[in-house]
Structure 1
Amino acid sequence: MKIIVPMAGRGSRLRPHSLTVPKPLIPVAGQPIVHRLVKDIAKVLKQPIDEIAFVLGDPAFFGDDVVESLKALATELGAKASIYRQDLPLGTGHAIMCAKPSLSGPAVIAYADTLIRAEFELDPTADSVIWTKQVDNPEAYGVVKLNGNQEIIELVEKPKDFVSDQAVIGIYYFKDVAVLKEKLQQILDENVTNGGEYQINDGIIRMMADGNVFKTGTVNEWMDCGNKAITVETNGRMLNFLKADAQEQLIADSAQVIDSEIIEPCFIGENVVIKNSTIGPNVSIGKNGIIENSTIKNSLIQTHTTIRNANLDEAMIGNHVRFDGKFKSVSIGDYSVLE
């Protein structure tokens, strides 16, 4: 089994945090988004992962440190890492085709801007499985249309009339991803675009027209990391899941908590020092942070950051930041100083 991860986008909606760190590498609940996503997909698949192919953008932004991080992730899962580049933002189908040498055999394609919680079996009768989430407002999403055999027969974007309540979340399984590759190559050769981009949906539609059977795999939770507010919310939701699972150490042994209260769930990274503060619930603090005389809840704070005299709620603060002040709901990028 392979996992293909297109992640070349710059994550503009998450600025300023994505100005210096690619969005998929921004930690949520102590681990980068893409790391959590790939690990959760591997849990659902319940089979060995042979290769993880990452499609990155400009090497000046997705540099050697990013590549090494992704190679380490693949090694952790016992897989080979393949690194590809998408030089131009020409759509989801184009991004997949940038990994053309890896497009053979069974594979999952997953876009690295979302997190999931899922537990289902892949349908062995299906040529492909589109992962979905049941939603209350399907008119706001792309949804699948099903026939009487619960097979997907159409993809409908933001339907005005009810089609189904199963929203497409951007994760797909293909029994043989080479079939998708063939269809996407046709799309490229014929220059079939939507909004000037080559889309995965056009390849899927051609597969359906050829009689390939598509089924749904419904996830329990679908968490977005698109902008600051929703990423902070996702951090809190993930912390609660991790606390319930009790499989990850959320507070590092090297963290120092002095005259302070930790209200779980929280993630406290290595060598964090907390003094005279109340932290939590739903707070993540990256390694080597210092928190003094502060109250922080429902917030996401990255590494090497110092916060003093603060009362923070629904805040997102980057790496190497110094913050001393009275502001509450803030979004501060890397290397900022507010004193």
Structure 2
Amino acid sequence: MKIIVPMAGRGSRLRPHSLTVPKPLIPVAGQPIVHRLVKDIAKVLKQPIEEIAFVLGDPAWFGDDVVTSLEDLAKSLGAKASIYRQDKPLGTGHAIMCAKPSLSGPAVIAYADTLIRAEFDLDPEADSVIWTKQVENPEAYGVVKLNANDEIVELVEKPEIFVSDQAVIGIYYFKDVAVLKGKLQEILDENVMNGGEYQINDGIKRMMADGKIFKTGTVDEWMDCGNKTITIETNQRMLGFLQADGDEQLVASSAKLTNSNIIEPCFIGENVVLNNSSIGPYVSIGNGTVIEDSNIKNSLIQNHTTIRNANLDKAMIGNHVKYDGGFTEISIGDYSVLE
């Protein structure tokens, strides 16, 4: 089994936090988004992963440190890492085709801007499985249309008339991803574009037209990381899941607390210093951060940041920030100083 991860976008909706760190590498509940996504997919697949192919953007943005992080992620799952580049933002289909040498055999394609919780078995009769989530407002999403045999027969974007309540979340399984590669190559050769881009949906629709069987795999939880507000909500939900699972150490043994308390669930990274502060619930704090004389809840704080005299709720603060002030709901990018 292979996992293909297109992640060349810069994450403009999450600025300023994605100005210095690619969005898939921003930590949520203590781990980068793409790391959590790939590990959770591997759990669902329940079979060995032989290769993980990452499609990155400009090397000036996705540099050696990013490549090393992804290689370490693949190694932790017993897989080989393959690194590809998408030089121009030409759509989801184009991004997949940038990994053309890896497009053979069974594979999952997953876009690195969401997190999931799921427990289901892949349908062995299906040529492809499109992962979906039941939603209350399907008119706001791309959804699948099913026939009487619960096979997907159409993809409908933001339907004005009810089609189904199963929203497409951007994760796909293909029994042989080479079939999709062939259809996407046709799309590129014929220059078939939607919105100025080559789309994965156009390749999928051609597979359906050839009679390929598509089924749904419904996830229990689908968490977005698109902007600051939603990312903080995802951090809260993920911390709750991790606390219930009990599989990860959420408070590092090297954290130093003086006259401070932690209201669980929280993630506290290595060498964090807490003085005269109350932290939690639902707070993630990255490595080497110092917090003094502060009360913080429902917030996401990254590495090597210093916070003093703060009363924060629903805040998102980047790396190497110095903050001393009385604001509450704040969003501060890397290397900022507010004193």
TM-score band by shorter chain is over 0.9
Unaligned runs of 5+ residues in structure 1 are none
Q: How do 1:1-339 and structure 2 match up within 5 A? A: 1-339=1-339
Considering only aligned residues, what root-mean-square deviation do their CA atoms show, in Å? 0.3
SS of corresponding position for 1:67: helix
Q: Specify the code of the residue in structure 2 equivalent to 1:131.
A: W
Q: CA deviation at 1:72?
A: 0.2
SS of corresponding position for 1:124: coil
Q: Specify the code of the residue in structure 2 equivalent to 1:205.
A: K
Tell me the distance in 1 between the aligned counterparts of 2:257 and 2:220: 35
Q: CA deviation at 1:257?
A: 1.2
Q: CA deviation at 1:290?
A: 0.3
SS of corresponding position for 1:13: helix
Q: CA deviation at 1:155?
A: 0.1
Tell me the distance in 1 between the aligned counterparts of 2:208 and 2:13: 33
SS of corresponding position for 1:232: helix
Tell me the distance in 2 between the aligned counterparts of 1:195 and 1:225: 23
Tell me the distance in 1 between the aligned counterparts of 2:155 and 2:195: 17
Tell me the distance in 2 between the aligned counterparts of 1:234 and 1:144: 25
Tell me the distance in 1 between the aligned counterparts of 2:132 and 2:37: 15
Tell me the distance in 2 between the aligned counterparts of 1:215 and 1:78: 28
Q: Specify the code of the residue in structure 2 equivalent to 1:312.
A: L
SS of corresponding position for 2:194: coil
Q: Deviations over 1:274-323 (max 9, x none)?
A: 01011000000000000000000000000000000000000000000000
Q: Percent identity?
A: 84
Tell me the distance in 2 between the aligned counterparts of 1:275 and 1:213: 58
Tell me the distance in 2 between the aligned counterparts of 1:195 and 1:116: 28
SS of corresponding position for 1:17: coil
Q: Specify the code of the residue in structure 1 equivalent to 2:260.
A: S
SS of corresponding position for 2:81: strand
Q: Deviations over 1:113-134 (max 9, x none)?
A: 0000000000000000000000
Moved over 2 A (4+): none
SS of corresponding position for 1:235: helix
TM-score (normalised: structure 1): 1.00
Tell me the distance in 2 between the aligned counterparts of 1:196 and 1:289: 43
Q: Specify the code of the residue in structure 1 equivalent to 2:308.
A: R
Unaligned runs of 5+ residues in structure 2 are none
Q: CA deviation at 1:250?
A: 0.2
Q: Specify the code of the residue in structure 1 equivalent to 2:227.
A: N
Q: Deviations over 1:201-227 (max 9, x none)?
A: 000000000000000000000000000
Tell me the distance in 1 between the aligned counterparts of 2:264 and 2:124: 41
Q: CA deviation at 1:258?
A: 1.1
Tell me the distance in 2 between the aligned counterparts of 1:283 and 1:258: 18
TM-score (normalised: structure 2): 1.00
Q: Specify the code of the residue in structure 1 equivalent to 2:190.
A: E
Tell me the distance in 2 between the aligned counterparts of 1:47 and 1:257: 41
Q: Deviations over 1:225-254 (max 9, x none)?
A: 000000001000000000000000000000
SS of corresponding position for 1:10: coil
Q: CA deviation at 1:151?
A: 0.1
Aligned residue pairs total: 339
